[in-house]
Amino acid sequence: MTDIEMIVAYIRPDKLSAVKQGLSEAGAPSLTVSNVSGRGSQPTKTGQWRGEEYSVDLHQKVKLECVVADIPADDVVDAIADSAYTGEPGDGKVFVLPVESARQIRTGAEGIDAV
């Protein structure tokens, strides 16, 4: 096992900019983001098409992946959670996973050097 950890976070799309800033300040500027839909504690909302309403129970979220080796994962989790906080249901969640191995494609570097 390496000392590499992956932080996976699901956040509000409009908080991405703040979270990027927070990660930068925490010293972990590298990240991958994707648009995802998901369901958690945020209540169902109403969508509308040609004046007719329908319920939407999957909300638009941004999934953020961030792999760190030389800074504590807790710092990164704090940075994300602080930046993404509103206090309303639907703020999202942060998970930390161990990473088995890593390799940088361009250089072929392995392990911590690859991160």
**Can you read off the two tokens belonging to residue 19?**
């979270």
Q: Which stretch binds other proteins (CB under 8 A): 21-29, 65-73, 75-83, 104-112?
A: 104-112
Separation between Cα atoms, residue 85 and residue 87, nearest integer Å: 6
Nearer Cβ to other proteins, position 43 or 105?
A: 105
**Residues 114/104, Cβ–Cβ less than 8 Å:** yes
Task: Give dist(CA 15, CA 31) in Å, integer.
Answer: 15
Q: Least Å distance between CB 2 and other proteins?
A: 5
> Shortest approach of other proteins to residue 60 CB, angstroms?
14
Residues forming the site for other proteins (CB under 8 A): 1-2, 47-54, 100-101, 103, 107-108, 110-111
